């Protein structure tokens, strides 16, 4: 069969060559990185907060943009419409006020933002109260950290 288009056919008797530098480069099949979830932490324990931030930023697609130790400080940072964040992780018992107060006041202001509770008191009653106030999920600090990491990865993948 004869080539219809001369520009597509190699001259008769020639051997096709390739640029050697192109052959030595590995093919890049990696996906672009997932976007980082801009995350705000409401946690009064310095040790828990610092460990949580380190764990989230190392093991999940998360960038912590701020934190608060009490309800008033959290609401002051989170409430303005110009505040930019994707996820809020809230402890229930704070230095002043509570995580329940944060949920109750923030949910109507930010209906599209994901809000989860991370607590040592994840009883069935407390889970129900948090969900009724607008929490998307409730995680137990003592044995659901992996579930929180999976949740964060799922959110970032969905935004990808």
Q: What is the mean pLDDT of residues 65-74?
A: 98
Work out the pLDDT band at 35, boundaries 50, 70, 90.
confident
Choose among 144, 39, 143: nearest CA to 89.
Answer: 39
Percent of the chain exceeding pLDDT 90 equals 76
Which pLDDT does position 69 carry in this prediction? 98
Which pLDDT does position 71 carry in this prediction? 98
Alpha-carbon distance of 136 to 74, in angstroms, equals 18
Q: Which residue has the higher pLDDT, 3 or 151?
A: 151
Q: What is the mean pLDDT of residues 112-131?
A: 97
Minimum mean pLDDT range among 30-34, 98-102, 106-110: 30-34
Q: What is the mean pLDDT of residues 84-88?
A: 96
Quick one: which H or E segment has residue 87? strand 87-90
Q: What length is written for the chain?
A: 160
- Taking the CB of residue 116, how many other CB atoms lie within 10 A of it? 21
In tens, the pLDDT along 9-30 reads 555 555 555 555 555 666 555 5
Choose among 145, 89, 84: nearest CA to 117.
Answer: 89
Q: Which residue has the higher pLDDT, 100 or 12?
A: 100
Q: Quote the pTM value.
A: 0.80
- Domains belonging to the chain, first-starting first, are 37-159 (3.40.50.2300)
């Amino acid at each position: 069969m004869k080539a219809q288009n001369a520009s597509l056919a190699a001259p008769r008797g020639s051997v096709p060559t390739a640029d050697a530098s192109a052959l030595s480069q590995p093919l890049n099949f990696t996906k672009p990185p997932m976007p980082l979830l801009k995350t705000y932490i409401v946690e009064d324990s310095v040790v828990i907060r610092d460990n949580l931030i380190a764990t989230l930023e190392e093991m999940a697609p998360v960038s912590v943009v701020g934190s608060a130790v009490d309800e008033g400080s959290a609401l002051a940072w989170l409430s303005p419409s110009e505040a930019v964040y994707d996820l809020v992780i809230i402890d229930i018992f704070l230095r002043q006020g509570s995580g329940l107060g944060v949920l109750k006041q923030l949910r109507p202001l930010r209906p599209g933002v994901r809000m989860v509770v991370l607590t040592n008191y994840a009883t069935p009653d407390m889970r129900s109260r948090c969900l009724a106030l607008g929490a998307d999920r409730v995680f137990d600090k003592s044995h659901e950290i992996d579930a929180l990491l999976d949740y964060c990865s799922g959110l970032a993948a969905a935004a990808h």
